[in-house]
Chains A and B, each alone.
Chain A
Amino acid sequence: MLKSYNLLLADDDLDDCNFFKEALEELNLTTSIRIVNDGVELMQLLLQNGFLLPDVIFLDINMPQKNGFECLLEIKRNDKLKQIPVIIISTSFDKKAVDQFYENGAHYYIRKPTEFSQLKLAIQKSLLYISESNTAHPELINFVI
């Protein structure tokens, strides 16, 4: 169903990183995942020469040093990186902030669910959408998963 994905997750919350990894494992997807814990680290990695660029970036908003919004802007302004789909994954859900992420080129927005099964479902859905839509920017109504 899904092809092999090379994913990159940026999140400072170790628990959430673990949830994400476990969810991927349980989804039985042939994926590789690389995890960074803040924005600065993320950008350094992405701009590092010879680094194999990920197929999708999962990006938390509240991160130390450089937050998710700043990272998104930098990614979307960089010609080399801008075609990588970015999926925002955050606890907060502020309508205005959500719209801003959409306007600045984020593909999907996952509100961190309280139930683990829902997290699995959200990750699966987002990857499915991206593989189906061939990385095209989705409609606003489909933005939030």
Chain B
Amino acid sequence: MFYDPMKKIETSLSQIKIVFIVTTIFLIVLSFFVFLQIKKLIDSSDWVNHTNQVTMSLQNISSDVVEAETNQRAFLLSGDSVLLKKRDAAFSLMANEWNFLDSLLQDNPQQKENLKTLQKSIDAKKVSMHKVLQDYRPMDMIPAFRDRILDGVGIMDQVKMNIQKMGTVQSQILELRSQKYSRLSFLTPVFIIVLFLGALLILLVSYYRINQALHHSQYLQAKLEEEKTLAQTVLNSSPDNIIVLDKELRYLIANPQAEKLIFKYTKNYIGMKATELFPSTKTLSDMQKVLKGESIYHNDYYSKVTGIHYEVIYTPLYKGSEIVGLIARSRDISEVLTTNITLEKKNEELEERNTFVETLINSSVDLIMVVDEGMSYLKINKKAEESFGHFFPESIIGKRITEVSPNASTAEIKRAFEGITVYINKFKSFAFNKYYEVSYIPLKKKEEVHAVMIIMHDITESIEIEEEIRALNQTFNYAEQVSMFGSYRFNFATKKITFSDNLYRLLGCFPQEFEASVQNLIKYVHADDIQNTLNPITETFTLRHVSKREYRIIRSDTKTIYVRETAKTITDDEGVKWMIGTLQDITEEKHQEHNLSKTNEDLEKMNKELQAFAYISSHDLQEPLRKIQTFSTRIIEKELDHLSDSAKDNFERIQAAALRMQTLIQDLLAYSSTNSDERKFEYINLGKITDLVQDDLKDDLQQRNATIETNGMCEVKVIPFQFTQLLHNLIGNSLKFSTLDRAPHIIISAEIIKGSELNNIKVSAEMNYCHITVSDNGIGFEPEYNEKIFEVFQRLHGKEKYKGTGIGLAIVKKIVDNHNGQITANGEVNKGATFNIYIPLS
């Protein structure tokens, strides 16, 4: 998976070695060949030189022969002997040249042969010349001519000398060149070798340098590799999930821990967007912040995808100063959380227990003190601090007992130090003026008593209570006698029953005259009531609630009395189950009750009869009345022409009377039915009822040009049908009793007020009431009728003037009564009437 630079360097090193060796070999071979070639070149050049020397030597020999010939001929012509000497000089020169040539041709046998041949021909010549000379005879010649020949020889010599001169110069040049050449032929190979060595040296140095550089690089690479491996190991062995994301939040790397998590969702995650795999807007916004250079840390991040709590760190990934991505590290902290919670819980529990113990000790109403062997106080609780604080405003800790309470006895403490718990059930403290129950408890540390704890429990109250109970018992006894009741107590555990003294008295016996038992008690119960009584104890056994029964008892003096037995099962503070029962003489009460219920029954019967009578009579009365009306209409319709005027008038009167009777009956029916009607209370808006009534009376209102004004209509809990009737009657009344001078104006207003504001003994002070006022500007009435006005058939005006049955307001009053409300009327003659109605809201 990883690119390995180590290997690459290794390869480079061996390659370089090979290249170096090849280069070296090539250099050596090249140098060798160059050297060889130059050597060959020098040799061939030597050979050319040699050939040149041979040629030159041959030419010299030739010219020497020609010289000798020339000089001999010149002698022959001129006879001058100098010339002969010249000839011999030429020969001797040739002899030198010959030796030289001979040495040159040493390595060439063919030329050596040729040289021998040449020797013979030259020797032949020498002989020929010598013969010529022998035959010589001086000749007579014109001197001028001889001179001329001699001049020619001289000139020739001159030429020869000049050639020789040039030849010498040439030789000198040659010598110089030869020297230069031999120097060159020596220097060139040396130079080549030096050059080769130089190249080799450079090669070596560069190989060494390259090698060194590569080795260094290899070392660095190895180090880097090591670090990388270390990092990889750290990454792999990390328990955290580590992922590296690029700038587009795509996965670059994930350690195995993270891979485990990711593999649950996908295998090919590299290049995938992290936010696609784990979508969370919070994570996305976090990561975007991190890409801007922020580092983000969450100590408890809950992932909805995995359902695990993580500790998360996001850090930007820098390349130089540029952010190229981010590193996200997360750690599953569920366990830590659990551990933390457990630890915290343990801590809390410990703390709680500590606090509990501390609180327990400090909240104890007992005085708790710890005393050391030297009888000095070591520790005391809050209560003790408070109690002693009265006498010792500075703490008593460190003080000796005898210092604090000079009269204290330390014997008990000494005994406690021997390892014995000492208990004193009643100890009177004169300093505190209280009774205590005192415990001396040895406190051990490794089997050794090192301190004693003194617990002083205040029992003053219980001692007082004891006395109080005694007094109470007495009072109870008296009370039983006064209110004529007796009592029993039954213990469920011991099955023992006890009777109070007065129970015996109730039965006409002396206190504790017979053994207290259920059977003995039942003996006194009236035979007819035993069934009703049964065994009160067995029956009440399971009862938690109060059980009550009444029965008759025949006293020992044969007098029959009524008793009410009240019993209840009670578990006292000690957990003992008791049944407590009382028997009360209710004979008197019973007689009264009997009378009352009889009266009640009679009343109810009468009431019902009355109602039925009212209903039935009014209902049945309607029928004959209706017939009277129908028949009279029949007569008026059919027989009108046969009637005299007075008969017609009488008929009209019959009809008017019948109509009045009809109204009367209907009102009576309404009045009686306001009682019997089902009382179904509903919440309804007063305005709604007013509207209904207004609609009902629309014609009347229009006819009289009346106006109705409403204020603060609120919700009321009423029997809608009855309340409609109520308003109908009141508004109807207002219309009926209006004056002719002014158009009727009726004001209906409502408000919610507290009962306490009413100053009316008949209303409850705590309750809220709806106060409804209906007032008009009609004829009103005398204030003395304020009460009377609500009575049945109570009329204030003659029926000729104002129609009416006198039942309307009685119905209103009855309806208000049905609503547990109150109604009052206030009238002012010729000004108007006001009705105040108070209806309770709940």
Contact = CB atoms under 8 A, between A and B. Distances in A.
Contacts of B623: 13, 91
Interface stretch (A2-10, A32-40, A101-109, A115-123): A115-123
A92 interface: yes
B634 A114 contact: no
A112 interface: yes
Given A91-B622, A91-B623, A114 B637 contact: no
Nearest to B638: A116
Contact of A19 (B630, B637, B658): B630
B124 to A, nearest CB: 186
* Size range of the chain A interface in the assembly: 10 to 19
Interface residues of B, number: 13
A91 B662 CA distance: 12
B627 interface: yes
Interface in B624-649: 625-627, 629-630, 633-634, 637
B619 interface: yes
A62 to B, nearest CB: 8
A19 B638 CA distance: 13
A15 interface: yes
Nearest to A114: B629
B622 A119 contact: no
Given A16-B627, A19-B630, 5 more contacts: A92-B622, A113-B626, A114-B630, A114-B658, A115-B629
A116 B630 CA distance: 5
A92 to B, nearest CB: 6
A114 B627 CA distance: 7
Name which of A16, A19, A91, A119 has the most chain B CB atoms within 10 A of its CB.
Answer: A91
A114 B619 contact: no
A117 B637 contact: yes
Contact of A116 (B619, B637, B658, B662): B637
Contacts of A13: 623
Name which of A19, A92, A115, A119 has the most chain B CB atoms within 10 A of its CB.
Answer: A115
Interface in A84-99: 91-92
10 contacts: A13-B623, A15-B627, A91-B619, A91-B622, A113-B630, A114-B625, A114-B629, A115-B633, A117-B633, A117-B637
Contacts of A113: 626, 630
B619 A92 contact: yes
Contacts of A16: 627
A113 B630 CA distance: 8
Contacts of B634: 116
Name which of B619, B622, B626 has the most chain A CB atoms within 10 A of its CB.
Answer: B626
A119 B619 contact: no
B626 A116 contact: no
Contacts, number: 30
Interface string B446-479: 0000000000000000000000000000000000
Nearest to A90: B623
A72 B662 CA distance: 29
B396 to A, nearest CB: 87
A36 to B, nearest CB: 19
Contacts of A117: 633, 637
A13 B619 CA distance: 15
Nearest to A92: B619
Contacts of A92: 619, 622
A113 B662 CA distance: 12
B626 A119 contact: no
A115 B619 contact: no
A12 to B, nearest CB: 11
Contacts of B662: 114
Interface string B216-239: 000000000000000000000000
Nearest to B658: A114
A115 B630 CA distance: 5
Name which of A13, A19, A116 has the most chain B CB atoms within 10 A of its CB.
Answer: A116
A4 B696 CA distance: 39
Contacts of A112: 626
Nearest to A15: B627
A100 to B, nearest CB: 13
A143 B625 CA distance: 25
Nearest to B626: A114
Nearest to A19: B630
Nearest to B630: A116
A107 to B, nearest CB: 23
Interface in A114-145: 114-117, 119
A136 B637 CA distance: 36
A91 B630 contact: no
A92 B626 CA distance: 11
A64 to B, nearest CB: 14
Nearest to A13: B623
Interface in B611-627: 619, 622-623, 625-627
Nearest to B625: A114
A92 B620 CA distance: 9
Contacts of A115: 629-630, 633
Contacts of A15: 627
A117 B637 CA distance: 9
Nearest to A96: B678
A115 B662 CA distance: 13
Interface string A12-53: 010110010000000000000000000000000000000000
Nearest to B622: A91
Contacts of B622: 91-92
Contacts of A91: 619, 622-623, 626
A16 B633 CA distance: 14
Contact of A119 (B625, B630, B658): B630
Name which of B630, B634, B637, B662 has the most chain A CB atoms within 10 A of its CB.
Answer: B630
A15 B633 CA distance: 14
A27 to B, nearest CB: 14
A136 B87 CA distance: 191
Interface string B246-267: 0000000000000000000000
3 tightest A-B contacts by CB? A114-B629, A115-B633, A116-B634
Nearest to A22: B634
Name which of A91, A92, A114 has the most chain B CB atoms within 10 A of its CB.
Answer: A114
Interface string A47-91: 000000000000000000000000000000000000000000001
A95 to B, nearest CB: 8
A92 B629 CA distance: 16
A129 B543 CA distance: 67
A11 to B, nearest CB: 12
B314 to A, nearest CB: 75
A99 to B, nearest CB: 12
Contacts of A114: 625-626, 629-630, 633, 658, 662
A37 to B, nearest CB: 15
